[in-house]
Structure 1
Amino acid sequence: MGYSTEATMPLYVKDPTVDALADELMALRGSTKTEAVRQALRNEIARVKGETDLVERTLAFTRRLHARARAGQPADKAFIDSLYERD
């Protein structure tokens, strides 16, 4: 789901802590409050999407690892001994 660059309704923040955070980010960035909030929201969206990608990459890695593993085979004496053999 994307977002529209056209404002359909202004964003009013009534929380003084959020307002103070926006002011602090604005000062640190040397930008307007609107630009500070815009960048903070974009960064958070990118971070959250990145977490999803990380989960998907981890699942794919786990699937590949499982496919390469000796899944379903018993860890018998021969298998354990093979772990200590030197080439």
Structure 2
Amino acid sequence: MAFHIKNPDTDLLARKVAALRKTGLTEAVHTALLHELEREQRKPSLVEVGIDFARELRARGNPQKGRPADKTFRDSLYEDG
């Protein structure tokens, strides 16, 4: 299957990478895409980021110094003024 790069800047980048690696354009694009895919797959998911954030907050917290989250406290969060 043919692959045509229509963007001149992208074409130039692919040619520069191919020249630096002394490979063909297909191999240069293949390697670049493979590396980008691997990099993206190593990123933590949003769920993992959220879990880590919650764990960090919990580790920093001090329950003895906290205020009770009773109805009065929750209502105070929505008061105007």
Structure 1 gap segments, 5+ residues each: 1-8, 75-87
CA RMSD of aligned residues (A): 2.5
Distance 1:21 1:65 in 2: 41
Structure 2 unaligned blocks of 5 or more: 68-81
Bigger mean CA deviation after superposition, 59-68 or 21-30: 59-68
| TM-score normalised to structure 1 length | 0.57
CA positional deviation for 1:45:
1.6
State which drifts further: 30-39 or 10-19: 10-19
Residue deviations 1:28-72 (CA, integer Å, cap 9, x gap):
111111010001111112222233x17554322222123332368
TM-score normalized with structure 2 length? 0.60
How many pairs were matched up?
65
Are 1:49 and 2:41 an aligned pair? Answer: yes
Deviating beyond 3 angstroms after TM superposition, the runs of 4 or more aligned structure 1 residues are: 54-58
In 1: Cα distance, 2:7 partner to 2:18 partner:
17
Q: Percent identity?
A: 28
Per the alignment, residue 80 of structure 1 pairs with none
